[in-house]
Amino acid sequence: MKVQLLPSLCALSGLLMASAVSSQVAYTWVDKDGVVHFSDTPNQGAKAISLPNLESSAPAPRVESTESLAPQAKNTSEPQTDEKPKADKPLPLSLSMLTPQHDETIRSNPGSINIQLEANRKLGIGEQLQLFLDGKPYGAPQSRLTWQLNNIDRGTHTLAVQAKRSGKLIASTSPITVHLHRASIKPTIKGAK
């Protein structure tokens, strides 16, 4: 909260030094920005303070702290502490497979399948991705969103990826089916017609 005392004290001094004040009362309040104001006219939410008689030699009123003048925060169900707020938990991870598409036919004589995922956020510390080919883990877990599979047998295959944190499943893609076509080389038998 910012409190601007200098202009406020000047205003109060001006009130005290002004010619005889008939009511000898000043009003003070703190606005929504935390600035303390003094006036000789009451405002909504203002507190009245008594001014000394200008003709007497009484000292001006002392303002020790404006803390009591500040608007008080409404009491919430949680006690307020000086601790820093806890960091928000990361968004739940969401994964989807960009390539290949479900039921796609891939023509690759070397048996290559390129896989690319999309995630709604970066992987956090300790989060890893495991590729599954035909229901079995393929390769080591990794944090990259891409894979290049080589020398995969021709035929129909299922692909899926699971994300784990500390061994616990936190997200997965829907399994997709791809059809890999590789040129077949039939051996030539000598003497065959």
* 90 assigned to some structural domain: no
- 108 lies in the same domain as 56: no
DSSP 56-89: S-PPPPP---SGGGSPPPPPPSSPP-SSPPPPPP
- pLDDT < 70 stretches in the chain: 1-23, 52-88, 185-193
- 123 lies in the same domain as 173: yes
- 100 lies in the same domain as 174: yes
* 186 assigned to some structural domain: no
- 160 lies in the same domain as 126: yes
Q: Which domain holds residue 114?
A: 95-181
The DSSP element (H or E) to which 38 belongs, if any, is strand 36-39
- 99 lies in the same domain as 169: yes
CATH of the domain at 133: 2.60.40.10
* 89 assigned to some structural domain: no
Q: Specify whether the CB–CB gap between 139 and 116 falls below 8 A.
A: no
Give residue 95's pLDDT. Answer: 92
Residue type (1 letter), 181:
H
Domain count, the chain: 2
- 42 lies in the same domain as 104: no
3-state SS, 117-180, equals EEECCCCCCCEEEEEEECCEEEEEEECCCEEEECCCCCEEEEEEEEEEECCEEEEECCCEEEEE
pTM exceeds 0.85, yes or no: no
